[in-house]
Amino acid sequence: MEQQHIDVLVIGAGISGISAAHHVLRDRPDTSLVVLERRARVGGTWDLFRYPGIRSDSDMPTFGFGFRPWRDARILADGAEIRQYVEDAAADGKVLEHVRFGRRAVSADFSHATGRWTVEVEDESTGVRESYSAGYLIGATGYYDYDKPYRPQFPGEADYRGTLVHPQQWPEDLDHTGKRVVVIGSGATAITLLPALADQAASITMLQRSPTYILALPETDPLTFVLQKLRVPARLTHSVVRARNIALQRGSYAFCRKYPRLARKALLGLVRARLGKRVDMRHFSPHYKPWDQRLCIVPGGDLFKVLKSGKASIATDHIDTFTTDGIRLKSGEELKADIVVTATGLSVRLMGGMEVTVDGRPVDVTHRVLYKAVLLEGVPNMSLVIGYTNASWTLKADLAADYTARLLAHMRTHGHDIATPVASDGDRTDFSVMGEALTSGYIARADKVMPRQGARAPWRLWNNYYRDRAMLQNTPIEDSHLRFDTAGPSRAETETAPESTRAA
């Protein structure tokens, strides 16, 4: 099998991968770079999910790339528009020509002797194996399992004679017209599906075990609209609105965490003002504090409109069992359903399931910490892109991409072949990088998959854009935690994993 030699290999052509490739090529266009994408198009999550009404749950000025203005005044965008935006960004930045589709990265091994990664790849359309040799590896696959969503087994579901569907695997030919629909869940997917399906369905109910904090925002941003009317250049408009929205995100998050009672009162008050007295507020009154789980956004209050009109309803209860034609709840109430949508969440899998080794030794990510929230402890020449959980994913993806480009430039300038972050036992905690921030179901499940949270800088993941920007863009590349080496047999013979991770 012939091996292809390149400077940088990016795994994933979603938002993170396109951003990473753009930043690397922007700084040095002559870099030999390949982006491997398992799907047939760019877009990642936004190509995978195609359920009705799919949209961003973050505002587009911050969810869009920092290097490409989002020109629409709408605050949220639908999935197809976002996917097209990612593809347009890839095409304009000449990244698209570097993407190889239908490729699944199977394994990656770093050799200290050569200072390079060897990545084994499968062309899923033919089954043919390919091999790539790369000086630097960027993991930009996100942390969702694209093959298998999270789907609990419900009592009695084998007896159910209707249609069961998970949003991640939505059938293109599913017709809900005139059907009785139950959506199980209370997160962003469920509250998106309810208004999207309500007009054609005979009835639709969102069945939730516990409520979620929900905030209605205008469909269009007044500031963007005014700046566009004044013919302010698109890039300046983008910069102004993006900066304002970042400040609002950080400010509202900090306020909710510092003053949870006041924040709860404000959030529930806004919901009550939208719904009036027709809908029971217990369906919107979570038992947890604001931002213990991600806040859900509804554009123009579309969820509240269908509930207030009577086209949709909410049931807050636990499932006793499925029946032949619906669901019986613990309260004894029965929900008749021709279609049950299990919007029960996502499974977590890092690096798309690719096996990672260093000099043949397996790397257990769950025993490692992240350096500056980008590099994985003890793993040379690899960036791992993990976006924000309390703000727009892309804000962090862009910062990680910019830092990676800076690191590569530093290594070239100083003749370094290898860059490895080195931590000590006191630098790590027992919970994951996601386990401290939020308590959502997929966050809890991620504890068994994700790297550990660091005990202190530069190993601690802060989920704070301003702090990360200062750390990743303004601090020197060289510090005592990042070791630089040259490749060679002597390095391969003496290299050992950190004491705490050798067994990993």
Nearest Cα to Cα of residue 182 among 209, 149, 204, 208: 204
Give mean pLDDT, residues 213-219.
Answer: 95
Task: From 314, 342, 370, give the residue that closes a domain.
Answer: 342
Residues 314 and 375 in one domain: no
- Percentage of residues of the chain with pLDDT beyond 70: 95
Task: From 291, 312, 342, give the residue that closes a domain.
Answer: 342
pLDDT band with cut points at 50, 70 and 90 for residue 496: very low
> Could you tell me if residue 232 is inside a domain?
yes
Q: Which pLDDT score is estimated for 492?
A: 55
Question: In CATH, what number is assigned to the domain containing residue 459?
Answer: 3.50.50.60
Residue 502 confidence (pLDDT) above 50:
no
Task: From 342, 367, 394, give the residue that closes a domain.
Answer: 342
Cis peptide before 458, with omega less than 30 degrees from 0?
Answer: yes
Residues 318 and 224 in one domain: yes
> Could you tell me if residue 446 is inside a domain?
no
> Could you tell me if residue 216 is inside a domain?
yes
> Could you tell me if residue 491 is inside a domain?
yes
> Could you tell me if residue 24 is inside a domain?
yes
What φ, ψ does residue 190 adopt, rounded to 5°? Answer: -65, -45
Strands 334-336 and 326-329: antiparallel
219, 299 contact by CB (below 8 A): yes
CA atoms within 13 A on the CB side of 371: 25
Tell me the angle at which helices 260-275 and 302-309 cross, rounded to the nearest 10 degrees: 50
Q: Which pLDDT score is estimated for 446?
A: 75
Q: Is the pTM of this model over 0.75?
A: yes
Q: Which pLDDT score is estimated for 410?
A: 97
Residue 245 confidence (pLDDT) above 80:
yes
> Could you tell me if residue 330 is inside a domain?
yes
- Domains held by the chain: number: 2
Residues 181 and 36 in one domain: no
What φ, ψ does residue 68 adopt, rounded to 5°? Answer: -140, 110
pLDDT band with cut points at 50, 70 and 90 for residue 499: very low
Residues 164 and 89 in one domain: no
Strands 375-376 and 370-371: antiparallel
The rounded mean pLDDT for the chain is: 93
Q: How many CB atoms lie within 10 A of CB 182?
A: 21
Residues 161 and 294 in one domain: yes
pLDDT band with cut points at 50, 70 and 90 for residue 240: very high
Residues 388 and 488 in one domain: yes
Residues 330 and 365 in one domain: no
pLDDT, tens digit (0-9, with 9 covering 90-100), for 170-205: 999 999 999 999 999 999 999 999 999 999 999 999
Residues 307 and 410 in one domain: no
Q: Retrieve residue 426's tokens.
A: 């006191």
Distance between CA atoms of residues 383 and 412, nearest Å: 16
pLDDT band with cut points at 50, 70 and 90 for residue 131: very high
**E strand or H helix that includes residue 26:** helix 15-27
Residues 352 and 333 in one domain: no
pLDDT, tens digit (0-9, with 9 covering 90-100), for 295-324: 999 999 999 999 999 999 999 999 999 999
Q: Which pLDDT score is estimated for 165?
A: 97
Residues 462 and 422 in one domain: yes
Residue 111 confidence (pLDDT) above 80:
yes
pLDDT, tens digit (0-9, with 9 covering 90-100), for 336-390: 999 999 999 888 899 999 999 999 999 999 999 999 999 999 999 999 999 998 9
> Could you tell me if residue 227 is inside a domain?
yes
pLDDT, tens digit (0-9, with 9 covering 90-100), for 432-491: 887 655 566 666 777 778 999 999 999 999 999 999 999 999 999 999 999 999 998 766
143, 449 contact by CB (below 8 A): yes
Residues 51 and 64 in one domain: yes
Task: Tell me which residue range forms the domain holding 135.
Answer: 3-147+347-428+455-501
213, 295 contact by CB (below 8 A): yes
**E strand or H helix that includes residue 272:** helix 260-275
Residues 137 and 238 in one domain: no
> Could you tell me if residue 10 is inside a domain?
yes
